[in-house]
Amino acid sequence: MFEKIYSPVQKIDLHPLSNLYVKRDDLIDPYISGNKWRKLKYILQKAKAEQKNHLVTFGGAYSNHLVATAAAAARSRLQATAFVRGEEVNNQMLLICSLYGMKLIFVDRESYKNKVDLYKQYFDSDDSTYFIDEGGASAEAVQGCSEIILELTKTYDHIFVAAGTGTTAAGLLKGIQDAGLNTKLHVVPVLKGGSFIADEIAGYTTLSDHLILHTDYHFGGYARTTPELLDFIKKFSKQTGVLIDPVYTAKMFYAILDLYQQNQILTTDRILAIHTGGLLGLLGMKDKFHFA
């Protein structure tokens, strides 16, 4: 199911930027979207090579990773179980997971902190299961994300990506290094205190001056928003025709425009933004938006 695929690069009009392009990984698949598709590609190959038929993973109640894993497992004729952080809830995201056949185990936030212990508690004696970390973080995921660079037919001065675990960013940095490019990789952590992302990236590839972290665009922390960010999303989507989500991509595009206004990006620079998908996350934010 993970055949070779090239997502399109689209030039968008985001005034006053005139050289902004978007790698539309959000168009890869409606449920195994964006970087989730790339992360799971080699994870599933490894699971099958090890003759595992049951994927076990972790995420919050609105996790795009859970939806993607559930869909990928169903299409690959594999079982799937997810440990869901927090109290038991019913929402649209978990409904999709359940329809794809994923079993959901809700665990309190303290227990969730030690995912390996949770996995062992339930599946230690089950040789058919395959452990997938939260968000798909793994060397296999980095390999999949590095292929984004191989798909590019043009060079760019700057590549931007939003980051939660740093896995996608690590893949992009590795791809830039392997290709011998001079491109700067700008990583926008969506969590408060996101400087740890550099350490996560360093666990997969060598850090270099290609990498620039922008840690001031978290808007309060993971999945946190402000009226300013929500207003930006509405204006951006109307102006460009490209949907973005409050958790990841909106923060990245806001950072791009703000850095341009600070003269850290030049009008003549060619900029590529990686649209990592995750648009189903908008379902969990519907009550935050207000429309006239």
How many alpha carbons lie under 13 Å from residue 172 in its C-beta half-sphere? 28
pLDDT value at residue 82:
98
Q: Inform me whether the pLDDT recorded for 285 exceeds 80.
A: no
CA distance 231 to 129: 44
**For range 168-187, the mean pLDDT:** 97
pLDDT in tens, 77-97: 999 999 999 999 999 999 999
pLDDT in tens, 203-236: 999 999 999 999 999 999 988 999 999 999 999 9
Residue 278 zone, left/alpha/beta (φ > 0; ψ -120 to 50; rest):
left
pLDDT in tens, 48-63: 999 999 999 999 999 9
Q: Inform me whether the pLDDT recorded for 289 exceeds 80.
A: no
pLDDT value at residue 59:
95
Provide the pLDDT confidence category of residue 290 given band limits of 50, 70 and 90. low
Instruction: Determine the residue type at 9.
Output: V
pLDDT value at residue 33:
86
Q: Inform me whether the pLDDT recorded for 160 exceeds 80.
A: yes
Instruction: Determine the residue type at 152.
Output: L
Provide the pLDDT confidence category of residue 6 given band limits of 50, 70 and 90. confident
Above pLDDT 70, what percent of the chain?
97
**For range 111-116, the mean pLDDT:** 94
What the block records as the tokens of 230 is 């929500």
pTM confidence score: 0.94
Domains of the chain: residue spans and CATH: 9-30+145-288 (3.40.50.1100), 37-136 (3.40.50.1100)
Provide the pLDDT confidence category of residue 103 given band limits of 50, 70 and 90. very high
Burial 136-164 (b: 16+ CB within 10 A, else e): bbbebbbbbbbbbbeebeeebebbbbbbb
pLDDT in tens, 226-267: 999 999 999 999 999 999 999 999 999 999 999 999 999 988
Q: Inform me whether the pLDDT recorded for 3 exceeds 80.
A: no
What the block records as the tokens of 94 is 């978990």
* Residue ranges of E strands in the chain: 9-11, 20-24, 54-59, 79-85, 103-107, 129-131, 158-163, 184-189, 211-213, 271-275
pLDDT value at residue 291:
59
